[in-house]
Amino acid sequence: MLDFSQLRCFVAVAEELHFGRAAARLNMTQPPLSRQIQVLERVLDAALLERTSRSVRLTAAGRSFLPEAQRILRLAETAAHVTRQVAAGRAGTLRLGFTAASAYDFLPRLVIGFRNALPDVTLALREMVSRDQLEELLSGRIDAALMRPPVTHPDLVCARALAEPLVVAVPADHPLARSEVITVRHLHEMPFIDYAPHDARYFHDLVQGLLDEAGVRPRVLQQLTQIHSILALVRASLGLALVPEAAERLRFEGVVFKPLVTMRPRLVELYVAWRRDRDDPLIGALVGLLDGL
């Protein structure tokens, strides 16, 4: 069976063609170096070197074996380096799920920060709603998720990544577009584009709780799932909508975004979640970036 120390000894002698220089290169004396070569030749059942008192030459078998030995050593060194990098959280692949709305502002900043901090790590991104991310996390098909609360499953742990206010999306030709700020009371009996109660449950419950607290009842004309679809209907002057502040980054022509004044601020939250039994250092690196974003 081949031994890495034997291979290193052979490669050193084959490249130096001198036992003294090879021994110095390996920080060892000549007798053990010669024994390692002899053991390797017995293992291979072939003479690799021709030795005289004046010179060392490779045999035909030695010339054939040298590039293979060099390749094996390179592979071993690469494997060891990659393993150390992965163990330290500086290499590997992190499979990250994310919601569509997180891609408006937070996800690009996270990707840039992650790439700058860990250039040798591959970030494999998958867009999914929070419900699907939960299933993918528990099954191990993704490593971490950017998802909406609540994250209450006992097998998951999480850290808050983002908290941003709701703002009012107003058609540019609407009278409220000229207001500096809008209160929740302004939405009473106004045409309104709401979130679907099942497919966009987090946003639906957040907005409904805000309206209920103020005793406000807008006229809900449509209930949609995606924020960019809601903004398209606002642009068409079908109604107003409440969206996270990051939606302003979409820069919808014909839509004006106004601050919302409320009795008690309601923040749109985003969490990083991962499985409790995962000790992947890349997840720790991801969480460590959150404070700087």
pLDDT digits (tens, 9 = 90+) for 26-57: 999 999 999 999 999 999 999 999 988 788 99
Residue 221's alpha-carbon distances to 89, 211, 239, in angstroms, are 49, 16, 8
pLDDT at 83 over 80: no
| Residue range 85-142, pLDDT digits in tens | 666 666 688 999 999 999 999 999 999 999 998 888 889 999 999 989 999 999 999 9
* Number of compact structural domains in the chain: 3
Residue 231 has pLDDT above 90, yes or no: yes
22 and 119 co-located in one domain:
no
Name the DSSP letter for residue 240. B
**Secondary structure (DSSP) of 106-153:** HHHHHHHHHHHH-TTEEEEEEE--HHHHHHHHHHTS-SEEEEPSP---
DSSP string for residues in 197-229: TTTTHHHHHHHHHHHHHHT---EEEEEES-HHH
Between 23 and 92, residue with greater pLDDT: 23
- The rounded distance, in Å, linking the Cα atoms of 160 and 270 is 6
Same domain flag for 127 and 205: no
Q: Are residues 153 and 277 in the same domain?
A: yes
Q: How far apart are CA 224 and CA 204, in angstroms?
A: 10
Q: State which of 87, 117, 133 marks the end of a domain.
A: 87
Verify that 208 and 132 share a domain, yes or no. no
Q: Could you tell me if 204 and 279 lie in one domain?
A: no
Co-location of 22 and 118 in the same domain: no
286, 275, 271: which is closest to 143 by C-alpha?
275
* Pair 54, 173 in one domain: no
Judgement on whether residues 13 and 144 belong to the same structural domain of the protein:
no
Same domain, residue pair 15 and 106: no
Single residue among 55, 72, 87 that ends a domain in this structure: 87
The tokens of 131 are what?
């419900």
Domain boundary residue, one of 36, 57, 87: 87
Q: Are residues 197 and 250 in the same domain?
A: yes
58-90: b (≥16 Cβ within 10 Å) or e: beeebeebbeebeeeeeeeeeeeeeeebbeebb
Does 273 lie in the same domain as 154?
Answer: yes
Lookup result for tokens 């992947």: 280
Range of the domain at 264: 163-268
Written as one letter, the residue type at 232 is: A
For 142, counting Cβ atoms within 10 Å of its Cβ (0-12 exposed, 13-18 middle, 19+ buried), the class is buried
One domain for residues 234 and 168: yes
Question: In this structure, what CATH number is given to the domain that contains residue 63?
Answer: 1.10.10.10
What's 229's domain CATH number? 3.40.190.10
